[in-house]
Structure formats: C-alpha cells, structure tokens
C-alpha cells in the first residue's frame, strides 16, 4: 500500500516510516487542546499507535524532496547556500546584514496563541507526555509494545534537539510536561550548554537503541530501528566533534574517539541486521534510489515512504516534478541547473580529480567524457537518454537536448531552445529520479521514496573520524568501500592517491561526501560544521580552510552557461540540429556506452560552443553577485518574539538581543 491521508492524518505507510493505523478526528481535536489530554487512550494499543503516528506526521509530513533539511520545516533554502544550486538569498547576499533579533530564525517558535502550532517545543512536549504516561496509564499493555513505542519517541525527541542544536547551539532542555504559567519560576529554564544538549540527545538515542527492534515486519517497514538510533548518534557526535562546536578538534581526539566508536557500533549493528551498501556497480547505485518501492532497502537507514496516488489523499514525491525538463512533461522552467563547480567537481573514471588525472585529462567543454560512473547517474546533459513513463504506463526512452540557437544573424537576445528546454547550464540534475514514474500532471504523482540517511553516509562518517585521528589507512579503506561499489578501479587507492596527513585525509572525505551525497541535503551541514565559507577569525579561529587546503566559498559565484549552436542561426521554431542529432544518444547502461560518448563529443565539437561571458546564477537585480555568508550566520540568533516571550533567554554572540544589546551566549564552549 501507499501513503494515504484522511482529513487530518495518515492512514497507511506514512512518512519516514510505514504505518497501518489512522487517527480519528476526535483524537486530534483532543491533542489540539495542548494541555488537556484524555489519558485513557494510552490504555489501547490502537490509540497509542495513533498518537505515535501523529508524531511522525508532525515531524516528517513536509519531507518530500531530498534537498530539504530540518524536521517539520523541511526547507530547501540551505541547499541554495551551497555549491549545488544557484540563487542569491538574504543569508548569502553581501548587500544584506542580519544581526538583530528581528532577523533571527523563527524555527525555535512563534507567538503564543490559542491554537496548537507544530513547533519544536510542541513536538518535544508531545514526546514527553507519552514517555511520562505510557508505563503508568498503559501498564496493562505488553512490555514489548510499550518499549517499541518509547524507542520511537526517544528517537524523535533526540532528533528534534539535534536540529535545535544545529540551528541555535545550546537550548533549554525540557524532559517533562510543563504547564504554561506566568508565576512558576521552575519552568523558566535557561539555555543549556551545547555539551549538555548533546549529552541529552545521546541519552535519548542510546535509550532508543535499547528499546527498538533490529527490523520491523513488512507492514511497519520504515519505522526507526535499533541500528537507525545508533547511526543517528554517530551523526550527532560527528557534528559535536567538528570545528564549529569543538575548539580542540585539531589538538585532542576525545570527541573524535566517541564519534568513531558510535559509527563503528552502528555499522556492526546494521550489518548484522541485513543493511549495507546497495549493489555492486554504478547502475545499481542509481537503482537503489527508486527500485525498492515501499519495501526493504538495505542502503536505507531511515527512509520516507511516499505514494503515487493521484488525489489529495496521497503524499507524493515533489523532487521528480522539480527536476524533469519541460520536454519530458515537467513544468515550464523546471530542471535543476548545475553550477560549473559541480560539473567540474566529480572525479574522472580512474578516480582521480579532474585537475590531477593524467590518464583522462579533463576538458570542461566535453565535460561528460571519462567521468566517475556516478556522474552519469547524478547529471543529465544534452544527448543523454533519460527515460520515464507516459500517462498510459509505457516507457518513453527520450533523449533530451537543451541547447539554444540565435534566431537571426543580428540577435544577441532572441533565441530558440531545443525541445523547448531553456536550461542555462550544460548539465542538469537527474539523480534520484525514477524511469518508471509517469509524467502525469508534470510528474506530480511520483511515489519514489526518499532515503534520509543511508549506509554510505555512515561509512563516510566513520572515514572522517579516522581522518581526524590521523589514521590514514582506515580512512582510505572506508573511502575505498564507497568507490569500489560503483566500479572505480582500485589502482592508487581507487584514485585517491597518497594522503600526506590528517588534513589531506579530512579534505578527501569532505570531497567524497560532495560526490556521493550530492543533492541529498547534506552539503550545508558539512559546510557549517567545518565553517567553510571563510576563515573569519571571529568564529573560525583555526582557519579550517587553510589547514584543509579548501578555497573559501565566500567571494565565489555559482555560474552556468548556455550550450549554444555555433554555426549560424535559425527561425525560433526551427531547430537547426533536429536531423543531425537523430542518431545521437548516450546511455551509461548501454554496452556501447564509450562509443556513444565518443560520438557525442564529436557532435558537440562540430556544433556547439559555450558563450562568453558565462551565465551568472547569482545576481541581485540583474547584477552578478558574489556569495557572502557572514560568520554570525553559522549559528542563528533567537528571534525577537522568542526573546520577548522568554526574557531570561540569552541571545547568541554576533546577534543583538530584544532591546538591541549584544548577545553573550557562546556556543563554542
């Protein structure tokens, strides 16, 4: 079955986890009263399941695209702050300075009101209520049932505190149900330290791991497991060990030791439970994102199950709709245009970087030649085959083209576009799309599941810990597992080469994360925790970019370019290459793929050029603009509303408080 909704809640297989129960309207109305719960519903397994299903709904309903981050809000804005896509917004706009409480993030919470809002401390309260009451009111229910319920709730509470920590640093820790009161001083909890918050998260995840099963039956597939709790702990401790929160990251290994131990424990548990890297070649690497529809996928540590139903009762995947080109049935202007730095990033087929490979020298015009096998499953480009299903369910093996031509000899502003695809980049994202999804209503009804945490990320977490501990051999061993799976030759450490020291090893891991996890919502967090925008001494005293040999992101632009027909002009509706390209198509799964690539390269050289200057993806009012992410943005300020309602809370350093005073809370302990 697929995910379905009634008026308020999921009927089956909701969200990151598959569910079989529904909530009644009366139950949700009870919940909306916020502090008035009828505890008797904890006496029924059905009703308890309804409660937990509603928690999953509150946490994960909005998670419908892999580039989204942060539970419940599921914003894609953070991806636009990375090298993966272009577009200037306030947090990277050099013409905007955000430092007042009025500019602070609203994720923490908004104004008090008569209606219940789906906000962090509301979700934490809902978790606390069940953890306090279930064993008391529901004592007659089986212990196994209660333990599995509590395990899921501990996981969710830990997850919420983790996102609060990544956004604000230390926050008040609330583990009991509190009643709002203007006179009760005990509920005026101060901001905890980051260490205290991490300790609370780890305690929740440890407890979850002791209570959750290794796997669920098919009807409940997708619920959190023991291995998922351990893997999430690895993610938390890796963040805590990273420079943003750890001033001693380069001089002491205690936090790296704990993060490594957590990663290895998760790896051991998940492997024993049947999880691991999916497939043994690049074709299967691509298939893992769509082939196991609402059923067990060994790569998926946590997964959002989605539906392909065609009414409002269903929760669909919105990624497919956003990345498909207009010629395939996507909406006008659709497609994720790839910045040049991302095109140039991926290794060559021997695993060497484009700047270092001598066997396969890189040509940025013929960028598709001799690349890492993952390149062809991450990106599409003019001349590539990109299949889908039509409305009748038949497979359409479409070769897509996205070039332009001038419509007159004098025109520098009027152009025609092949197949109607106006794409200001020679490449566009195709990763995590399914060849079996129909283009009905612009791919609106894709049911492709989304892996929020997959096994490859866990291996990269482990590799990073080894790198920070200067264990080069184990770093290479874990990076080798990632590359071996997609068919990169083993020579010279799968093309990685010799890593001179821990800084080179850390940089190699961060590089591999950019390739393996591209467009999966992970890059912003890596940039944040390593402070890669700049080496501004006000926050990044260790100058991590210099140490790792990574260029600052600040001061750069995401740029694209049109693939342009160079041999004259043609009327707007007359494609000059329709006949010439009829036999050109490249499919990375074809037996003669290399021959196809050679033919495409010849076709490009004969017919195309990249116009100069490049197309700016970052501009303000039409003016190309460099990225500027200010150092106080790494950890956001509390909003004016939150500080006014909770005057005992201290504002973060780098941000002004409710009355304009400078914040004093230091998240870097």
- Domain architecture of the chain: domains with CATH: 4-72+95-224 (1.25.40), 330-448+558-617 (no CATH)
Instruction: Return the pLDDT at 332.
Output: 75
What are the angstrom distances between the C-alpha of 408 and each of 237, 405, 414? 60, 9, 8
pLDDT of residue 112: 67
The band of 558, judged by pLDDT with boundaries at 50, 70 and 90, is: very high
3-state secondary structure of 586: strand
DSSP 8-state secondary structure symbol assigned to residue 324: S
Q: 3-class SS at 446?
A: strand
Mean pLDDT of 70-91: 97
Containing 200, the helix (H) or strand (E) segment is helix 194-211
- Does pLDDT of 24 surpass 50? no
What are the two backbone dihedrals, phi and then psi, of residue 132, each rounded to the nearest 5 degrees?
Answer: -75, -40
> Which residues, at least 6 apart from 427, have a Cβ–Cβ distance to it below 8 Å?
337, 338, 342, 343, 367, 379, 380, 381
404: which strand partners?
417, 564
Identify the pLDDT of residue 28: 42
What was the pLDDT predicted at 115?
Answer: 65
**pLDDT grade, residue 117 (50/70/90)?**
confident
C-alpha torsion sign, points 9, 12, 18, 21: positive
Confidence of residue 183 (pLDDT cuts 50, 70, 90): confident
Encoding tokens for residue 569? 């002009």
How many Å apart are CA 85 and CA 427, to the nearest integer?
12
DSSP class of residue 75?
A: B
Largest interatomic CA distance in the chain: 83
Alpha carbon distance 257, 263 (integer Å): 10
- Block residue for tokens 């990320």: 457
Share above pLDDT 70 across residues of the chain, in percent, rounded to a whole number: 94
pLDDT given for residue 397 in this prediction: 77
1, pLDDT greater than 60: no
Q: Could you tell me the pTM of the whole model?
A: 0.94
Quick one: which of 566, 529, 521 has its CA closest to 405? 566
Least confident residue range of 2-11, 240-249, 329-338: 2-11
Residue 126's alpha-carbon distances to 32, 58, 62, 122, 294, in angstroms, are 11, 10, 18, 6, 27
User: What pLDDT, on the 0 to 100 scale, is given for residue 41?
Assistant: 84
Predicted confidence (pLDDT) at residue 330 exceeds the cutoff of 90: no
Q: Would you tell me how many other CB atoms lie within 10 Å of the CB of residue 625?
A: 17
Percent of the chain with pLDDT over 90: 84
The confidence band for 135, taking pLDDT boundaries of 50, 70 and 90, is: very high
- Alpha carbon 220 to chain centroid distance? 24
pLDDT of 71 higher than 70: yes
Distance (Å, whole) CA 229 – CA 155: 7
If you average pLDDT over residues 1-23, what whole number do you get? 29
Q: Cβ distance 566 to 577 under 8 Å?
A: no
Q: Residues near 239 by Cβ (< 8 Å), separated by ≥ 6?
A: 162, 165, 166, 245, 525, 529
Strands 623-624 and 559-560: unpaired
Confidence band of 32 (pLDDT split at 50, 70, 90): very low
Residue 145 tokens read as 């049932």
Which of the 8 DSSP states describes residue 567?
A: E
pLDDT band at 289 (very low <50, low <70, confident <90, very high): very high
Lowest mean pLDDT segment, chosen from 180-189, 323-332, 657-666:
180-189
CA angle 75, 78, 79 (to 5 degrees): 100
Q: Read out DSSP for 486-512? A: TT---HHHHTT----SHHHHHHHHHHH
pLDDT of residue 116: 76
Mean pLDDT of the chain: 92
Taking the C-alpha atoms of residue 567 and residue 576, their distance in angstroms, rounded to an integer, is 9
């Amino acid at each position: 079955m697929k995910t379905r909704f009634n008026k308020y809640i999921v009927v089956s297989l909701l969200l990151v986890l598959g569910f079989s129960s529904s909530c009644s309207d009366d139950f949700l109305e009870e919940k909306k009263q916020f502090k008035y719960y009828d505890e008797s519903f904890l006496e029924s397994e059905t009703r308890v399941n309804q409660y937990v299903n509603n928690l999953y709904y509150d946490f994960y309903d909005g998670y419908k695209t892999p580039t989204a981050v942060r539970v419940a809000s599921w914003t894609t804005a953070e991806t636009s702050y990375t090298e993966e896509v272009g577009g200037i917004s306030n947090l990277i706009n050099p013409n905007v300075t955000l430092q007042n409480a009025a500019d602070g993030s609203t994720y923490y919470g908004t104004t008090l009101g008569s209606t219940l809002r789906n906000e962090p401390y509301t979700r934490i309260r809902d978790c606390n209520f069940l953890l306090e009451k279930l064993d008391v009111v529901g004592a007659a229910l089986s212990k196994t049932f209660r333990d599995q319920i509590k395990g899921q709730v501990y996981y969710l509470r830990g997850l919420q505190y983790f996102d609060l920590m990544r956004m604000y640093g230390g926050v008040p820790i609330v583990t009991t149900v509190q009643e709002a009161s203007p006179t009760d001083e005990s509920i005026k909890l101060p901001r905890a330290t980051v260490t205290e918050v991490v300790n609370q998260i780890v305690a929740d995840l440890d407890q979850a791991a002791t209570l959750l099963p290794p796997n669920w039956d098919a009807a409940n597939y997708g619920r959190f497991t023991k291995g998922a709790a351990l893997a999430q702990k690895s993610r938390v401790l890796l963040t805590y060990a990273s420079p943003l929160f750890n001033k001693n990251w380069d001089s002491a290994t205690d936090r790296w030791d704990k993060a490594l131990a957590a990663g290895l424990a998760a790896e051991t548990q998940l492997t024993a439970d049947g999880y691991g890297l999916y497939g043994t070649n690049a074709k299967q690497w691509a298939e893992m994102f769509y082939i196991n529809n609402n059923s067990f996928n060994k790569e998926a540590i946590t997964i959002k199950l989605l539906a392909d139903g065609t009414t409002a009762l269903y929760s669909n995947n919105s990624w497919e709709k956003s990345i498909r080109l207009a010629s395939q049935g996507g909406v006008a202007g659709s497609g994720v245009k790839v910045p040049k730095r991302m095109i140039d990033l991926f290794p060559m087929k021997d695993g060497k970087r484009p700047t270092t490979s001598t066997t396969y020298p890189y040509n940025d015009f013929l960028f598709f030649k001799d690349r890492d096998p993952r390149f062809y499953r991450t990106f599409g480009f003019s001349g590539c085959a990109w299949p889908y299903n039509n409305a009748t369910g038949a497979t359409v093996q479409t070769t897509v083209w996205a070039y332009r031509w001038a419509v007159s000899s004098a025109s520098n502003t009027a152009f025609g576009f092949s197949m109607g695809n106006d794409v200001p980049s020679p490449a566009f994202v195709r990763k995590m799309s399914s060849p079996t999804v129909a283009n009905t209503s612009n791919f609106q009804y894709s049911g492709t599941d989304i892996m929020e945490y997959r096994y490859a990320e866990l291996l990269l977490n482990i590799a990073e810990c080894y790198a920070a501990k200067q264990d080069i051999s184990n770093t290479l061993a874990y990076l080798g597992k990632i590359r071996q799976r997609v068919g990169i030759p083993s020579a010279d450490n799968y093309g990685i080469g010799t890593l001179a020291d821990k800084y080179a090893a850390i940089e190699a891991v961060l590089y591999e994360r950019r390739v393996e996890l591209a467009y999966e919502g992970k890059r912003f967090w890596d940039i944040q925790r390593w402070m890669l925008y700049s080496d501004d001494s006000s926050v990044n005293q260790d100058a991590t970019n210099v140490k790792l040999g990574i260029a600052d992101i600040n001061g750069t632009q995401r740029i694209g370019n049109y693939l342009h027909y160079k041999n004259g002009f043609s009327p707007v509706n007359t494609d000059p290459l329709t006949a010439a390209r009829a036999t050109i198509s490249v499919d990375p799964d074809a037996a003669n793929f290399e021959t196809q690539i050679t033919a495409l390269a010849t076709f490009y050289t004969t017919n195309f050029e990249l116009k100069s200057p490049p197309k700016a993806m970052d501009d303000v009012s039409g003016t190309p603009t460099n990225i500027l992410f200010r150092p106080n943005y790494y950890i956001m300020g509390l909003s004016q509303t939150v500080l006014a309602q909770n005057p005992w809370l201290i504002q973060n350093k780098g941000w002004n408080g409710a009355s304009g005073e400078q914040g004093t809370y230091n998240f870097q302990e």
